[in-house]
Chains A and B, each alone.
Chain A
Amino acid sequence: MGAEPTAHTQASLPDEEEALLRALDLSFDYGHGSVLRDVALTVRAGEFVALVGPNGSGKSTLLKVLLGALPPGSGRVELLGRVPGDVRDRWRVGYVPQRPSLLSEVPATVEEIVSAGRLRQRGWWRGLTGSDREAVHHAIESVGLGTLAGRPLNELSIGQQQRAFIARAFAGEPALLVLDEPIAGVDAESQRRFRDSLVHLIRAHGAGVLLVSHELAAVADVIDRVVVLKERVVFDGSPEELAARGVSLGVHREDLPLWLEDLG
């Protein structure tokens, strides 16, 4: 079966050193039954990987383990070539959590939130430079929030807030972007912008992208690999390989998740 996950994670691959993110034989549980089992996954520089699967299949959990926010039960994780806890240049990783723990009690503007994405570039104790501010403004523009930059987050709609969190991840000009359903509740126009920003990051900066989403329509044409997770990886391959299994990112654009969930 061409869908065997190991096909893409063999250690002998020539471009191995370019792997931004690697997981091998990864297992995890929260203490009541297995959530991830023997998961293998690789994201290389310049690669766009879509991670899909039904609700509760372990996608968000996998991202948290990969980023070191949760300890792996067993198996190995390498983030930028190191164990997540040892990664020194973490600012090269951009992350959009599925449901941000952010709840602003005190008003905080879009700009203030997005600026946090630049804190690690030169050291968090230093002030922001002109180029930091430029990157922040550019990130805000790229999600179409330019006119709302000075508005407090809690005065924005849910979709606009979500775009602010995307901008926060973009602001750091990351080498690896890990996005957990960033475009849920985001309108079509903004999804197109989002796609263009991702394409720019990949093509111009050689970034790697790992995107969890139930809505792949907007990005279907730029996906290099699709990984279908259901506690295990049940498919890992190119859109062409997926087409050979009867699911086409083009044809099934609109109802793709349903088709993918039927795999395995």
Chain B
Amino acid sequence: MIGTLPIPYPFESAEAQRALVACLAVGVFAPMIGAFLVQKRLSLVGDGIAHVAFAGVGAGLLVGVWPVWTALVFAMIGAIGVEMLRLKRKAAGDLALALFFYVGIAMGAVFASRAGDLELETLPYLFGDPYAVTWTGVATVGALGVIVVVSMRLAGRALFAVVTDEDWSRVAGLPVGVLSMALAALTAGVIVAGMRIVGILLIAAMMVLPVASAQLVSRSFRGTLRLAVAIGAVSSLLGLTIARPLDLAPGGSIVFVAAALFAAVALAKRTAPRALQQEAH
């Protein structure tokens, strides 16, 4: 479809270049959404929704539908369901969410085992496989990226107000319900898109880890968001670069790099808090 670009090893082949584009997209868009989840104190909700997406994968395998579609349906319903429970304050927070998510993973396992070989069928979804991403896959991720960026441009400020101070936002007349649902839907979209790339078990990490690193040094929400996106992209690039020569799982090594960056930033901040603070000014 598109010619191979002259990039040196390990990105010399078309499939490696597609993997690079896909992973960079995850590195950029996952923290963009993640910053709002972290601010909302729902850092773990991404993981929960990923578990529900796994039930969707199982259901797809069972009924013979492309599992990405069923995963998307399950993740959307899960994300919006959780958000509705939270908004109506019906759920006793943590516990209800936990229940929701455990049922998700159990359903996924049961469905997939009924469908055939559990490990073989589900492994690419659990741990991702960026080298298997097709041009259609890249285009899909690109389209999702456009949706994320446009949503952020239009609703980023209002979303910031809502995740920062929900009660005030409601009194101020912001459409708290609509914006919360939109964030839930975007979260589900990013998780399902990232599922084939870095895996169900690791996509949520890419929503949270770069944000965790960025907020250590940044002193504004906007700055945190930008830095998190940069850290996410660097993690993807470095992770994928070391994965191939060392024969590591790409998703795992990307998240590993993101975690290592967090540790490095945390350590640097501890040893040189003054220098870092001045630099951030």
Report which A residues bind B (CB closer than 8 A). Answer: 67-69, 87, 90-91, 93, 95, 97, 100-109, 112-113, 115-117, 119-120, 124-125, 127-128, 150-152, 155, 168, 172
Neighbouring A residues of B41 by C-beta, 8 Å: 103, 105
CB distance from A174 to the nearest CB of B (A): 10
Given contacts A102-B164, A125-B154, contact A107 B170 (CB under 8 A): no
With beta carbons under 8 angstroms apart, the residue of A67, A107, A115 that contacts B219 is A107
Given contacts A106-B35, A106-B38, A106-B224, contact A119 B154 (CB under 8 A): no
Neighbouring B residues of A117 by C-beta, 8 Å: 172
Given contacts A107-B224, A109-B221, A125-B154, contact A116 B39 (CB under 8 A): no
CB distance from A122 to the nearest CB of B (A): 12
Say whether A119 contacts B157, CB under 8 Å.
Answer: yes
Neighbouring A residues of B174 by C-beta, 8 Å: 119-120, 124
Beyond A93-B173, A103-B41, A106-B211, 9 additional contacts (C-beta under 8 Å) are A68-B171, A97-B167, A100-B167, A101-B167, A104-B39, A106-B215, A108-B220, A117-B172, A125-B155
CB distance from B229 to the nearest CB of A (A): 13
Expressed in whole angstroms, the Cα–Cα distance for A90 and B175 within the complex equals: 11
Report which B residues bind A (CB closer than 8 A). Answer: 35, 38-41, 154-155, 157-158, 160-161, 164-175, 211, 215, 218-224
Neighbouring A residues of B35 by C-beta, 8 Å: 106
Expressed in whole angstroms, the Cα–Cα distance for A106 and B158 within the complex equals: 16
Neighbouring B residues of A67 by C-beta, 8 Å: 171
11 sampled A-B residue pairs with Cβ under 8 A: A90-B172, A93-B171, A93-B173, A101-B167, A104-B39, A106-B38, A112-B160, A113-B165, A119-B157, A119-B174, A124-B157
Expressed in whole angstroms, the Cα–Cα distance for A192 and B245 within the complex equals: 67
Q: Is the interface of B mostly helix, strand, loop or mixed?
A: helix
Say whether B170 contacts A116, CB under 8 Å.
Answer: no
Say whether B165 contacts A116, CB under 8 Å.
Answer: yes
Say whether B168 contacts A97, CB under 8 Å.
Answer: yes
Q: Is the interface of A mostly helix, strand, loop or mixed?
A: loop
Say whether B172 contacts A119, CB under 8 Å.
Answer: yes
Neighbouring A residues of B40 by C-beta, 8 Å: 105
Given contacts A90-B173, A152-B220, contact A119 B161 (CB under 8 A): yes
Neighbouring B residues of A103 by C-beta, 8 Å: 41
Q: Which residue of A lies closest to B42 (CB)?
A: A105
Q: Which residue of A lies closest to B154 (CB)?
A: A125
Expressed in whole angstroms, the Cα–Cα distance for A151 and B280 within the complex equals: 11
Expressed in whole angstroms, the Cα–Cα distance for A117 and B169 within the complex equals: 9
Expressed in whole angstroms, the Cα–Cα distance for A128 and B153 within the complex equals: 12
Q: Which residue of B lies closest to A111 (CB)?
A: B220
- Name the residue among B154, B160, B161, B174 with the largest chain A CB count within 10 angstroms: B161
Q: Which residue of B lies closest to A108 (CB)?
A: B221
Expressed in whole angstroms, the Cα–Cα distance for A117 and B222 within the complex equals: 17
Expressed in whole angstroms, the Cα–Cα distance for A68 and B173 within the complex equals: 10
